[in-house]
């Protein structure tokens, strides 16, 4: 959404004065925020999924539910299978 010309001019003036008064702060504010690497996000998602699988297993044991134990074990094992597949695929290429 575009600002009206008057507001854009005021904003530009504030930005210019800030750069004159405190150049370090102005540089810090104009620098883009650091991005989290994609590999780190995938690893965090895998660890959370594994933890969720273990929680489902523990819940299944507590409730004596075979279905929950099997479901949680499949989720937890699936994370390791996914990692193994990714490593195998990486070595193959």
Question: Domain coordinates of the chain in residue numbers?
Answer: 1-34, 38-92
pLDDT, tens digit only, all 93 positions of the chain: 687 888 889 988 988 898 888 888 888 877 777 888 888 888 899 999 999 999 999 999 999 999 999 999 999 999 989 888 888 888 765
42-72 per-residue burial string, b: 16 or more CB within 10 A, e: under 16: eeeebeeebeebeebbeebeeeeeeebbebb
């Amino acid at each position: 959404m575009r600002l009206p010309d008057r507001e854009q001019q005021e904003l530009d003036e504030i930005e210019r004065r800030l750069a004159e008064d405190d150049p370090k702060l102005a540089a810090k504010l104009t620098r883009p925020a650091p991005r989290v690497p994609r590999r780190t996000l995938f690893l965090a998602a895998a660890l959370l999924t594994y933890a969720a699988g273990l929680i489902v297993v523990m819940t299944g044991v507590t409730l004596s539910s075979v279905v929950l134990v099997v479901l949680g074990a499949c989720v937890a094992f699936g994370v390791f299978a996914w990692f193994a597949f990714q490593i195998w695929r990486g070595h193959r290429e």
